[in-house]
Amino acid sequence: MNSKIRTRFAPSPTGYMHIGGLRTALYTYLIAKKSGGTFILRIEDTDTARYVEGATQVIIKTLKDAGLNYDEGPDVGGPVGPYVQSERKDMYRPYALELCEKGAAYYCYCSELSKESSHEEPISSSRDLFLCPCRDLRHEDSKRRADAGEAYAIRMKAPKEGETKVTDIVFGEIVVQNKEIDDMVLLKRDGMPTYNFANVVDDHLMKITHVMRGSEYISSAPKYNLLYQAFGWEIPEYITVSPIMRDAQHKLSKRDGDPTYDDLLNDGYLPEAVLNYIALLGWSPGGENELFTLSELLEVFDVTGISKSPAIFDIEKLNHFNSEYIRKMTPEEFEKVAAPYIGRVIKKSLSISAIAKILQARCIKLSDIPEKIGFFESLPDYDTELFVHQKSKTDKKIALEMLIKAQEILENLPDWTNEAIHDILIETAEKLGVKNATFMWPVRIASAGKAVTPGGAVEICFILGQDETLNRIKLAIEKLRGEVNG
């Protein structure tokens, strides 16, 4: 085995990055980087039917945005390129022909049965395995037909006696009877390699030492081993991860409306929080701490913590992680990420910094922001019943009295700062002989038109500015007078 660890993330460009794919990329990155090894991005686009234009760029952008910087790949190059399988097409045929010469593969002329998908079926099923009649043709006769121009595929010639053992770091030893292994297609009639064959050849040529893949591919591992053995190549370490589930019965699936990584970012989750949460879907660090930056994950990650059991994607748990990451940000960091969301609603000349300050401790995800701050842009049409608040000991009559006094003192406040507004409101409440809440609550309702706001009366008044605050208090006084004196 190569002394230096080399891992690869090898996605198919079939759309956006799903959560399971990003988790595989993360674990693969951590395995390599923790040991000072090499992390490679390889694009596996042999399945032309599922190819999505632009998906490769999405994969590259996602990895870079997540901080999973690869050492070799399609856009950065490297010593074992190209790093896109379709650009390596001519490399595979000689290896398939070599297996034919060795008796480990054969030409298949069965036109319909050669048109297999590049993603193979599981090796065992309730059906009887198809035995291709071309399997028993003499190699010389079969090759003569190929040389004469007859269309063919190339199939692996799986042994029908004995057993094949696979050793996986997570799942241990897996033993499969060879009679259950089908003669999978290696090279299709159009000359393109199948996923499974290109996978093995590329992993060998790129000197991959550790292969991580989802549990749906564990049934293909015996086929891979047979290919490695036929070539006389060293078998890499296998690390299999179980699926991420929406619930106990259903896998996470974009087709069923479950979010992709991009969906989560667009919904206001921080990349760092998503990456941290994904790391824990099927892996346990041990201990009580669950919050890890990427650099901290490099310190604590160990493949022995990977679980055989499927992981459940819990959006509430992700919400918790995201809110924790938001709290940990400096005010400047939070303002930077919150500003675009604030700007969706606030068109007036208000302090973005001051709005961000009151949001940070009250925000679960960034997409919550617009709904929380709309009242700054325009006062909602509110019911005067909001002024009735048992805990603050206010009713409409008391609220009217408090607002008349608030209008008086705020009109004459020369210095419109948080501190000045706070001090004058507290001082006035004391002079009136009422609780602070009794005086503050009516001011808050008048200035916001809402009972639940991301800031209190002081912060809201400061952000609105003196003129707008007084206009809103005046409007509230008029509404209350009409009811109290009516």
Per-residue pLDDT of the chain (486 residues; tens, 9 = 90+): 557 999 999 999 988 889 999 999 999 999 999 999 999 999 998 777 788 899 999 999 999 999 999 999 999 999 999 999 999 999 999 999 999 999 999 999 997 554 444 444 433 333 456 689 999 999 999 999 999 999 999 999 999 999 999 999 999 999 999 999 999 999 999 998 998 999 999 999 999 999 999 998 999 999 999 999 999 999 999 999 999 999 988 888 877 778 999 999 999 999 999 999 999 999 999 888 999 999 999 999 999 999 999 999 999 999 999 999 999 999 999 999 999 999 999 999 999 999 999 999 999 999 999 999 999 999 999 999 999 999 999 999 999 999 999 999 999 999 999 999 999 999 999 999 999 999 999 999 999 999 999 999 999 999 999 999 999 999 999 999 988 886
Q: What is the DSSP letter of 219?
A: G
The answer to whether residue 431 is catalytic is: no
Catalytic residue among 143, 207, 254, 435: 254
What one-character-per-residue DSSP string does 183-208 give?
Answer: --EEE-TTSPBPHHHHHHHHHHHTT-
Cis peptide upstream of residue 82 (ω within 30 degrees of 0): yes
Q: Where is 244: in which H helix or E strand?
A: strand 244-245
pTM of this structure: 0.89
Distance CA 440, CA 394 (A): 10
Rounded to the nearest 10°, the torsion over CA 371, 374, 376, 378 is -160
Q: Are 220 and 164 in contact (CB under 8 A)?
A: no
Q: Are 136 and 157 in contact (CB under 8 A)?
A: no
**Which long-range contacts (C-beta less than 8 Å, at least 24 apart) are formed by 414-417?**
416/462, 416/465, 416/466, 417/462
Distance CA 93, CA 194 (A): 11
Considering the domain 6-83+244-316 in this protein, what is its CATH number? 3.40.50.620
Residues contacting residue 231 through CB under 8 Å, at least 6 positions apart: 95, 98, 99, 204
Token look-up 């599922």 returns: 50
CA angle 418, 422, 424 (to 5 degrees): 120
Token look-up 């259903």 returns: 250
Please name every residue paired with 174 in a beta bridge, in sequence order, or none if there are none.
166
- Residue ranges of domains in the chain: 6-83+244-316, 86-241, 330-368, 379-484
Strand-by-strand arrangement of the 38-41 sheet? 38-41, 6-9, 210-214, 237-241, 163-168, 172-177
Distance CA 68, CA 76 (A): 14
**DSSP-based three-state secondary structure for 63:** helix
Domains 6-83+244-316 and 379-484 in one fold = no
Instruction: Give me the pLDDT at residue 348, please.
Output: 94
Q: What is the DSSP letter of 12?
A: -
Q: At what angle do helices 89-102 and 195-205 cross, to 10 degrees?
A: 100
Quick count: other Cβ atoms within 10 Å of Cβ 348? Answer: 11
For the chain, how big is the Rg over CA atoms in Å? 32
Instruction: Give me the pLDDT at residue 16, please.
Output: 83
Distance of alpha carbon 85 from its chain centroid, rounded?
A: 25
Selection from 61, 70, 68 nearest residue 13 by Cα: 61
Kindly provide the residue ranges of all beta strands, DSSP E only, lying in 123-195, ordered along the sequence. 153-156, 163-168, 172-177, 185-187
Q: Are 98 and 148 in contact (CB under 8 A)?
A: no
Instruction: Give me the pLDDT at residue 1, please.
Output: 53
CA angle 179, 184, 185 (to 5 degrees): 155
Token look-up 């090796």 returns: 123
Quick count: other Cβ atoms within 10 Å of Cβ 414? Answer: 6
Selection from 112, 157, 159 nearest residue 138 by Cα: 157
Of the options 3.30.70.260, 3.40.109.10, 3.40.50.300, 1.10.10.350, the CATH number for the domain spanning 379-484: 1.10.10.350
Q: At what angle do helices 271-279 and 315-328 cross, to 10 degrees?
A: 130
Assigned token pair, 290: 């669950």
Distance CA 90, CA 352 (A): 57
Residues contacting residue 310 through CB under 8 Å, at least 6 positions apart: 242, 243, 244, 245, 251, 282
Of the options 3.30.450.20, 3.40.50.620, 3.40.50.150, 3.20.20.150, the CATH number for the domain spanning 86-241: 3.40.50.620
* Count of alpha carbons within 13 angstroms of residue 273, beta-carbon side: 24
Distance CA 73, CA 66 (A): 16
Assigned token pair, 270: 């921080």
Rounded to the nearest 10°, the torsion over CA 84, 100, 209, 70 is 0
Selection from 16, 110, 350 nearest residue 358 by Cα: 350
Assigned token pair, 367: 């997409």
Assigned token pair, 231: 């070539």
Selection from 378, 381, 384 nearest residue 477 by Cα: 384
